[in-house]
Structure 1
Amino acid sequence: MGGIDTHADTIHVAAIDPWGRELGDKEFLTTPLGYRQALEFLASHGQVTVVGIEGTSSYGLGITRTASEAGLDVLEVLRPERSVRRREGKSDPIDAYQAAHAVLAGRATAAAKSAEVTALRALHNARRSAVKARAAAQVQIRHQLITAPLTSREKYRHHTAVRLIQALAACRPAVHADIEERLVLTALKSLARRHQLLSEEIAALDVELTSVIEQTAPHLLGLHGVGNSTAAQLLITAGGNPDRLRSEASFAALCGTAPVPASSGKTTRHRLSRGGDRRANNALHTIALVRLRNHPPTKAFAARQRAKGRSTPEILRMLKRAIAREMFKQLTRPHEHLGVHDLRPARQAKNITIDAAARALGIAPMTISYTERGKYLTPEVITRYREWLTTA
């Protein structure tokens, strides 16, 4: 068995036998040649059963891919706890041997992160950073306008956010004689153009994200409240932790939505966990908020819970736990593709207008149009619509 401690420029490789005896260790460069030499070094001690690697999605990504392409089983190894490091010390050889012993002892059971998850994470991270930068630019614009010269402040005071960005990006600071006003407008114009460029960048990244998700898990985008960003985050969480998908309870714990007892005395209640993947938790929170606003079954559920005296945080906790259960099923056993090609011909054959169908189902005409064109694939809407067309 092999263990590998990874760094930016080097990796340290150690080999042990099935009885835990140390066979040897050596350092290699993080280059294609260095990776091949590392695997040859392990093979020189006998048949390699499995390799434990620290940081399979960061510094260890290169050696992980090389080992996987060579047909070796690769497991993700967590770095030793601080208590172990204080007791046994720390060095590259020690860390490499500890990685090998973690595999032998069965402490390392997680499969290595896949290349697809790494690529999707890179795309998602780029989008998230662009969104943060755009929000920061907009905040700067609003704050700068507060202390801007009176003429500029009054000119742009009542603009909406979109109109404000457009107006500032098109303004001409050079025509102002007052130096303070000219320089402030120059700064505001720079921020507005940055905002526009970031918006274009986010739109381009959204197209790429949607394309990747439609190839890997198109059914996720058909769920109510799930957009490309939340779907990408759930795929990253699931793909990066396949060993945590043994049950929907373990997935809920991974996302930080497993209920934790918070009872005392005569009070019996639960709260959300503070642990888990907080980005996945945020994705579930976003889905819950969207459904609370415009998803009739969710709104009815919230009304029933409020009638029982539950607070909004408690209702959100219950919703996020239920959504985690739903997402687990979709990630592990996705529903069959819901074909919609028959809906429009069936409606037209009965001379039913979109407005009439919308009134009968109690939904917006645009929802009917989007559903027929495959742009709004909510399973319950498709089922209701198809059943209504059958009986209409």
Structure 2
Amino acid sequence: MTSLRRIVIGVDTHLDTIHVAAITDTGQPLADAEFRTTPTGYYVAITWARSFGEVFIAGVEGTSSYGAGFTQALQDNSIHVVEVNRPNRASRRREGKSDPLDAYSAARAVLAGHGLAIPKDPNTGALKALLIARRGAVKARSAAIQQIKDLLVTAPADLRERYRRYPTTVRLVQALSRCRPTTHTDPITVAVLTACKALAQRIEFLDRQIGELTTELDTVTRTLNPALRAAYGVGPDTAAQLLITAGTNTDRLRSEAAFARLAGVAPIPASSGKITRHRLSRGGDRAANNALHRIALVRWSHDQRTRAYAARQLAAGRSKKDVLRLLKRAIAREMFKHLTAPCPIDDYSDLRPTRQAQNITLTSAAQHLGVWPTVISRLERGLQRHDSLAANYRHWLNTQHIDAA
């Protein structure tokens, strides 16, 4: 019985079409064809490729964008998929640019093993959708607030003075959303108030939308990686971005150094003459770099260990930028562990029942631990992570139980 010929396919992806090229495992070109980006088109493309032999691997451009649908179809048909980079510009200048050429280039890149990556997990798409919607809402909210302030700058004097007295943006938005423009007679005042009221109501709607999307992001990130979400300073937004960058797929990250380079926090030499120093790489995923930057700022502001470390580095003569670079590199190392080897986290659900069973008030517990009662309340409800405080709290509660017995 003759065994099937082993086939490699390369795929050049677009919005409405994909171009598939088939070659043998020795690099011999067989054929290429174009298909529609529909379930039927994907089925026809796979059937066409299998007519030449056994398809054992496929190289697809843009597995998280135009190639996402075909990637899923290939995986559903038990075909191993790798993501290939687009041909570099030097090769395109030498060989030309067309869909068939790009498809064959992708197939040959698979054989050469050059510039390959494992496609991101489908969960990444869900996180990305929620994160895009949330960030869009935040951006629109900021724009609406600025528009209100700009309108009030040029508003009639009495209107400007009336709404200047509100100390916060929240209070100003609440007042404008409930104003009644029709009670005024001046047409300019009516027009400005009508515009401000519409913008204020838009802000309130966006506030509710941001809250709902944040809650959904929190639920998804806690389900996918509770240890990452529980890390100090990591919120739903930053956790989602790090999971998107990693692809919720641990096989994509070869090493901790590779993740640091991917996130743009790998130190590179920046020395000249007598000055010997390093700076962070400006390459990689800038959104992931921004997530690490925000985590570093939160820890520098609120985490005692981070504050002590920063103080030591500043005393040693380092600048704030250098300290921030060191912090981001260290945080990347910690985040890599959470992304590749998720560990179980401490469950705080026993704290409140234990306290209530002993008739201990929040105030008494907070006074003993030297924190505010709201901190204990948030800890008991799982709204705040602080493992060392939770361990001390649990030990104290157990001690009280033994003393009572």
Which of the five TM-score ranges fits, normalised by the shorter chain?
A: over 0.9
Partner of 2:275: 267
Counterpart-to-counterpart distance in 1, 2:68 and 2:191: 48
Matches within 5 A, 1:1-392: 1-159=8-166, 160-239=168-247, 242=250, 244-344=252-352, 347=355, 353-389=361-397
Counterpart-to-counterpart distance in 2, 1:192 and 1:352: 44
The one-letter amino acid of 2:298's match is V
Counterpart-to-counterpart distance in 2, 1:29 and 1:341: 52
8 Å Cα contact 1:254/1:276 also seen in 2: yes
The one-letter amino acid of 1:67's match is L
Distance apart, 1:388 and its partner CA: 5.0
Counterpart-to-counterpart distance in 1, 2:108 and 2:380: 57
8 Å Cα contact 1:75/1:108 also seen in 2: no
Of stretches 188-197 and 147-156 in structure 1, the one that deviates more from structure 2 is: 188-197
1:279-298 deviations in Å (ceiling 9; x for gaps): 11111111111112211111
Secondary structure of the residue aligned to 2:296 is helix
Counterpart-to-counterpart distance in 1, 2:230 and 2:374: 16
8 Å Cα contact 2:84/2:109 also seen in 1: yes
Distance apart, 1:377 and its partner CA: 2.4
Partner of 2:403: none
Q: Any stretches of 5+ residues in structure 2 without a counterpart?
A: 1-7, 401-405
The one-letter amino acid of 1:272's match is L
Distance apart, 1:60 and its partner CA: 1.0
Distance apart, 1:242 and its partner CA: 4.8
The one-letter amino acid of 1:230's match is T
8 Å Cα contact 2:259/2:336 also seen in 1: yes
Counterpart-to-counterpart distance in 1, 2:105 and 2:59: 9
8 Å Cα contact 1:223/1:379 also seen in 2: no
Counterpart-to-counterpart distance in 1, 2:195 and 2:355: 56
Of stretches 187-196 and 264-273 in structure 1, the one that deviates more from structure 2 is: 264-273
Counterpart-to-counterpart distance in 2, 1:174 and 1:349: 58
Report sequence identity in percent.
56
Secondary structure of the residue aligned to 1:48 is strand
Counterpart-to-counterpart distance in 1, 2:181 and 2:49: 66
The one-letter amino acid of 2:55's match is V
CA-based RMSD? 1.9
1:319-346 deviations in Å (ceiling 9; x for gaps): 1111111111111112213122443455
8 Å Cα contact 1:370/1:376 also seen in 2: yes
Counterpart-to-counterpart distance in 2, 1:186 and 1:89: 57
Distance apart, 1:217 and its partner CA: 1.4
Secondary structure of the residue aligned to 1:339 is coil
Distance apart, 1:348 and its partner CA: 5.9
Distance 1:228 1:129, change over 3 A: same
The one-letter amino acid of 1:72's match is I
The one-letter amino acid of 2:310's match is A
Counterpart-to-counterpart distance in 2, 1:345 and 1:122: 38
Counterpart-to-counterpart distance in 1, 2:212 and 2:353: 34
Distance apart, 1:381 and its partner CA: 2.6
8 Å Cα contact 1:110/1:241 also seen in 2: no
The normalised TM-score by structure 2 is 0.91
Counterpart-to-counterpart distance in 2, 1:101 and 1:40: 21
Distance apart, 1:222 and its partner CA: 1.8
8 Å Cα contact 1:347/1:389 also seen in 2: yes
The one-letter amino acid of 1:133's match is A
Counterpart-to-counterpart distance in 1, 2:389 and 2:183: 56
Partner of 2:5: none
Distance 1:166 1:342, change over 3 A: closer
1:2-61 deviations in Å (ceiling 9; x for gaps): 011111111111100011110001111111111111001110111111001111111111
Distance apart, 1:267 and its partner CA: 2.8
Distance apart, 1:350 and its partner CA: 6.9
The normalised TM-score by structure 1 is 0.94
